Amino acid sequence: MPALVWFRQDLRLSDNPALAAAVASRQAIIPLYCLDDAGGGDWSAGGAQRWWLHQSLAALDESLRRRGSQLIVRRGTSREIIAELIEETGADALYWNRRYEPASSAQDTVIKAALEARGLKVVSCNGRLLNEPWKIRNRSGKPFQVFTPFWRHCLEQDDPSDPLAAPRSLEAPGRWPNALALDALALLPSFRWYDRMARSWQPGERGATVALRQFVARTIWSYAETRNIPAIGGTSRLSPHLHFGEISPRQIWHAVRKRAERDRLSANEWRTNQFLTELYWREFAYHLLFHFPHTPTAPLRPEYARFPWQPDAGQLRAWQRGATGVPMVDAGMRELWATGWMHNRVRMIVASFLVKNLLVPWQHGARWFWDTLLDADLASNTLGWQWCAGSGADAAPYFRIFNPVSQGRKFDPEGVYVRSWVPEIGKLPDKYLHAPWTAPPAVLRAAAVELGNNYPRPLVDLEQTRARALQAYQVMRETRGST
């Protein structure tokens, strides 16, 4: 009898523990992908993710076919689809790699209990993290809520085992069940707004492998210095590949180790490398999401439920469109819309502007990122927004407010990044580029910039709204003290 291997956020053949376990069972294998828009609860994939998913599923199916197999694609409720396939094929086992989002985890529990009650074999594996969230605890046996001790504790664990090789071939069942054509999932919108993304990315396991190889060969040891400069390729751009599971954190960890050994770096030097630290920041995000499943929509720190937000729909739309009149913010939001990605430093700048200068609740920003980012990962997205808002674990203090002008001058001093995304102010001198409203009228005329016409005036006064945010924070603290 065959076994089902249920692919989800593990769209790869290399270092895929669930697939390897199924292969080891010496059964015929039926690879399954089910598009279950209800399975993620309120967090079904946004438009940018759906474009990537289409490409990644096509790449996975191609890899499977080269090994004598194919991907069975269906749409519907995962529990029902799996039950139907078991009846159709006589499969007696189901293999999957675990997910940790609250809705997905709950769904997995229900499916496993139902199948085991029928006598079927259910095997779940860890193909997504270096350490299971429930295995990392502080000295009191509780979850960590501060990154540095969490990271140090992780470094004390055993090294990740070597990545698993992709199977050379897969035994096919005697008869393949019916499957939908990939196009039938309608993941691609009718309007081809995604063409620019297609030019910027190569979804799929092969693209992930190339991106990792190039980053480790060229940038890994300069990452700490280059990661803050949005105008250069100083980051790995692996986050979408990680989100869709086209590469595993274990593969990344060992790629860095091998490069360090070639360069004869000490263990302490490479284990504490800034890039690997970021990999553990991702682990921290999943640790928090697992132990505090309410945090995608509610603050981890309960006092922030009383924060006096002042949401304004018009200001939120201007932020989403990259029309705030603050160049560094607008550049980031336009990059996001055009490419499905935004540089990490700029993510912090635009998030701080939304929640602190505009006093728009962080949940609105998190939802927009979810809908527009290719790498919109529920754990990382939640941690990032709660960090910026000051409401989460190890969060930036609320009084830490990024000034987008000084951030622009520091990390984009020659204006390369801003000019690439906000060309209407591109002729301004560097001195005024990040704050066009400070330029003398003659300078604006010479640069053909008409504030309020071909480029917006600033949506808000940065200094005044900074003071307003600090006052709101003080109100929240006083309210807490009076209860």
Residues recognised as catalytic: 278, 281, 309, 344, 362, 385
Which of 163, 65, 70, 143 lies closest to 100 in space, CA to CA? 143
Helix (H) or strand (E) segment spanning residue 125: strand 121-125
DSSP secondary structure of 362-373: HHHHHHHHHHH-
Asked whether 245 and 264 are in contact (CB, 8 A), the reply is no
Q: Cα 479 from chain centroid? A: 35
- How far is Cα 454 from Cα 254, in angstroms, rounded to an integer? 50
Give strand pairing partners of 35. Answer: 75
Tokens of 21: 């376990």
Residue among 218, 224, 225, 228 at smallest CA distance from 259: 218
User: Which long-range contacts link 193-201 to residues 24+ away (Cβ below 8 Å)?
Assistant: 194/48, 194/51, 194/340, 196/338, 196/339, 197/48, 197/51, 197/52, 197/338, 197/339, 197/340, 197/374, 200/339, 200/340, 200/341, 201/52, 201/240, 201/340, 201/341, 201/374
Tell me how far apart the alpha carbons of residues 159 and 20 are, in angstroms, rounded to a whole number: 20
Q: Scan for tokens 């439920």, then name that residue.
A: 305
Q: From start to end of 161-307, where are the E strands?
A: none
The answer to whether 35 touches 62, Cβ cutoff 8 Å, is no
Residue 257 CB: number of other CB atoms within 10 A? 17
CA 56 to chain centre: 16
**Of the candidates 163, 245, 161, 247, which has an alpha carbon nearest to the alpha carbon of residue 211?**
247
The sign one gets for the Cα dihedral 61, 66, 72, 78 is negative
CA atoms within 13 Å, Cβ hemisphere of 375? 21
| Cβ within 8 Å of residue 390, ≥6 positions away | 301, 304, 396, 397, 398, 400, 473
Token pair 């995604």 in the structure block, residue: 194
**What DSSP state is assigned to residue 189?**
-
Cβ(93)–Cβ(85) below 8 Å: no
